[in-house]
Amino acid sequence: MSTSKRVVPFFNYPHVYKQYENEINKAINNVCNRGAFILQKDLEEFEENLANYTGAKYAIGVANGTDALIIANRAAGISEGDEVIFSSHTYIATAASIYFAGGIPVPVECQEDHMISPESVRKAITSKTKAIMPTQLNGRTCDMDSLNKIAEENGLHIIEDAAQGLGSKFNGKQAGTFGLAGTISFYPAKNLGSFGDGGAILTSDLAMYEKMMQLRDHGRNKDGLVVTWGLNSRLDNLQAAILNLKLAYYKNEIERRREIASIYQTNLGSITEIKLPPSPNSDTIHFDVFQNYEIEAERRDELKKYLFERGIGTIIQWAGKTVHQFKDLKFNVSLPFTENMIAKSLMLPMNTSLTDEDVLYVCEIVNSFYNN
């Protein structure tokens, strides 16, 4: 039974539109009146703006973040029998993209901050390893110094799954710009969300750029001639126009998320039964954008229920199983650190529709759960 009238949903989908309603309506009208739906100037402008924002030389708009990964793998030459190492604490799409390129997905452990463990990566390298695919999870960038070093020493590519990482930084450099390619998702609940599916690939390598431009458009070159097998995976021009508009406000969105994380940190930091993500100002190496606020909690399922009964929505990432734990996929590996982490993992509300009062209410209820 709810003890309060306040409701704090985990995510507020209508807010994604309401927030910029008038400008979005204008942008949609403009695109529709021009009849500019596929591969038009809004997409080109968005690609240029996204490249400028991230610091990548090129950005390519594609249909979704999963296709972005598949295309990046294919362009990087991942093929039959090639092993690609990734953190099991990621969305299934990371592993599926390796599988669909013909490769073998090799899951490894995450570490205390929930990002891929470089030590675990090193141990998983074999003569068949071709690439490391770090997920820039929850709006945080992995320890890219260590990963780059491992990649260089072993002649491996880095392909970043930065679906959740747009704008996050490691040593001042943005997620998605470290490897041969980095991919972004614009799924509506992402920090930069489109009104449907959408994705992008970042690269600073001209040959990769040219290959990926062909792969997303039926394998066609600039003259429309087919030069390879390709997909139909273009970011819709309408989505690009909306994303262009939202990208202009992106810095403010990130700042608000970081403020919310600070409120959580201040008000939950002393509860010994929970472990919070690194605070927004915990070091000068990471700049986190808090796509999610993933805590580890003792008595996690009870806490989730307690919050739900008091109007607060929470989510357990990946329905409570990391990639190697999905039995039907037949991974034969045990990753105790990751398994222990996901058994405690819980995501608290984190989005820009939240008021300070909403966040404080969540904190009050979490405190009351552990103080009772």
Ligand X SMILES: Cc1ncc(COP(=O)(O)O)c(C=O)c1O
93 is a site residue for ligand X (CB under 6 A): yes
91 lies in the binding site for ligand X (CB under 6 A): yes
Residue 82 C-beta: closest distance to ligand X, Å: 19
Round to whole Å and give the CA distance between 345 and 328: 22
Size of the site for ligand X (CB under 6 A): 15
Closer residue to ligand X in complex, CB, 141/164? 164
Query: In the 8-state DSSP scheme, what is residue 191?
Result: S
CB 66 within 8 A of CB 89: no
Considering only residues 124 to 153 of the shown chain, the ones binding ligand X according to CB under 6 A are 135
Q: Is residue 161 near ligand X by the rule CB under 6 A? A: yes
The reply on whether position 66 binds ligand X by CB under 6 A is yes
- Considering only residues 16, 31, 46, 64, which one is a binding residue for ligand X as defined by CB under 6 A? 64
Our finding on whether 90 is near ligand X (CB under 6 A) is: yes
Q: Candidates 18-26, 63-71, 118-126, 282-290 — which segment interacts with ligand X by CB under 6 A?
A: 63-71
Interacting positions 188-247 with ligand X (CB under 6 A): 197, 199
Q: How far is the CB of 192 from ligand X (least distance, A)?
A: 11
Whichever of 238 and 363 has its CB closer to ligand X, that residue is: 238
Cα four-point dihedral sign 219, 221, 223, 225: negative
The DSSP output letter for 225 is -
Cβ proximity to ligand X: between 268 and 348 the closer is 348
Task: Give yes or no for residue 358 binding ligand X (CB under 6 A).
Answer: no
In the complex, the smallest distance separating the C-beta of residue 94 from ligand X, rounded to whole angstroms, is: 5
End-to-end CA distance of the chain: 17
**CA distance readout (Å), 32 to 27, 64, 187, 328:** 9, 22, 22, 44
Q: Is 294 in the site for ligand X (CB under 6 A)?
A: no
How far is residue 317's CA from residue 314's CA, in Å, rounded to a whole number?
Answer: 10
Determine the Cα–Cα distance for residues 162 and 177; give it in Å rounded to an integer: 9
Contact 131, 102 (CB under 8 A): no
Sign of the C-alpha dihedral computed for residues 8, 253, 233 and 174 taken in this order: negative
- Asked whether the beta carbons of 39 and 178 are under 8 A apart, the reply is no
Distance from C-alpha of 126 to C-alpha of 111, rounded to nearest angstrom: 21
Q: Whole-angstrom Cα distance, residue 368 to residue 161?
A: 37
Asked if 164 touches ligand X (CB under 6 A), the answer is yes
Q: Which is nearer to ligand X, 199 or 277 (CB)?
A: 199
Query: Nearest to ligand X by Cβ — which residue?
Result: 65
Token digits of residue 135: 């997920």
Amino acid residing at 69 = L
Element (H or E) spanning 203, and its range?
strand 199-203
In the complex with ligand X, the residue whose CB is nearer, 67 or 253, is: 67
Q: Does 187 bind ligand X (CB under 6 A)?
A: yes
Report the residue number, 161 or 253, with the smaller CB distance to ligand X. 161
Strands of the sheet containing 129-133, edge to edge, are 58-62, 199-203, 181-185, 157-161, 129-133, 83-87, 104-108
Instruction: Pick the piece of the chain touching ligand X (CB under 6 A) from 79-87, 140-148, 156-164, 242-250.
Output: 156-164
CB of 239 to ligand X, least distance (A): 11
Near ligand X in 303-322, by CB under 6 A: none
Report the site for ligand X in 24-53 (rule: CB under 6 A). none
* CA of residue 96 relative to chain centroid, distance: 15
Binding site for ligand X (CB under 6 A): 64-66, 90-91, 93-94, 135, 161, 163-164, 185, 187, 197, 199
